[in-house]
Copies of this chain bind each other. A is one copy, B any other.
């Protein structure tokens, strides 16, 4: 019956492990059959703070990767940056804690039916969903290169297993503490043309997504980006998470990044209008 949030369910998940990795926490949760419906790009919305919490809204986190065959049934990995009180609470939870989650939510990265040359670009914890995506792309015989960037080395998330699923991995940090000094956009056009990139998949801060879009605007490269807007509900009912996006008629609509995103076509997002209101067309 439902057309929106199809296959999303609300379940109690158990934390299987919670490890600090650099500046982040890698949290593995037991979610059972829910994994069957999770695609790279989807996210999960988690209740935070427990029963007597003053935090009434769920927190959104990208699904980093899922495994159907873990010893516990389906499990899902999240990469969480301890930011404010909700994410810090999550990072503080011991193994065995129960979480109230809604998943999977949102759009997924489009997977090509042909083998293509893909470039995956992650900023900070934005790399999280890219490793799961790399696995899927590799399984379709795509060539997968990856660029990761962050302000400092501790904010680069690149697990060993993850590295195995990409053909090349290049790391940039703004302070040069890991990889090259600079940003992922540094030599982007060069990389795109040298490697014959067909599609860029990106996830990270809005500024990075915008910069990538602008750089590749003049090329034929398709840019699928996972956006991050402040979300109250995560399921399309509150209208807080909107972004100005060009629709088929060339008009700008305020689309909900929770159900029409987080994965969007970068070239359609009106980055210069974010935080503003376009004129109404009729």
Contact = CB atoms under 8 A, between A and B. Distances in A.
Nearest to A56: B54
A116 to B, nearest CB: 45
Interface residues of A, number: 11
A282 to B, nearest CB: 45
Interface stretch (A19-27, A45-53, A241-249, A256-264): A45-53
Most buried by B among A51, A55, A85: A51
Interface in A38-95: 48-55, 85-86, 89
* Identical chains bound together, number: 2
Interface in A90-128: none
Contacts of A49: 52
A85 B51 CA distance: 8
A15 B165 CA distance: 47
Most buried by B among A49, A55, A89: A49
Contacts of A50: 50
B54 A52 contact: yes
A48 B52 CA distance: 10
A52 B54 CA distance: 6
Nearest to A51: B85
A163 to B, nearest CB: 36
Contact of A54 (B54, B85, B89): B54
Contacts of A52: 48-49, 53-55, 85-86, 89
A104 to B, nearest CB: 26
A59 to B, nearest CB: 12
A34 to B, nearest CB: 26
A80 B89 CA distance: 26
Nearest to A55: B52
13 contacts: A48-B52, A49-B52, A50-B50, A51-B85, A52-B53, A52-B54, A52-B55, A52-B85, A52-B86, A52-B89, A53-B53, A53-B54, A54-B54
Interface of A: 48-55, 85-86, 89
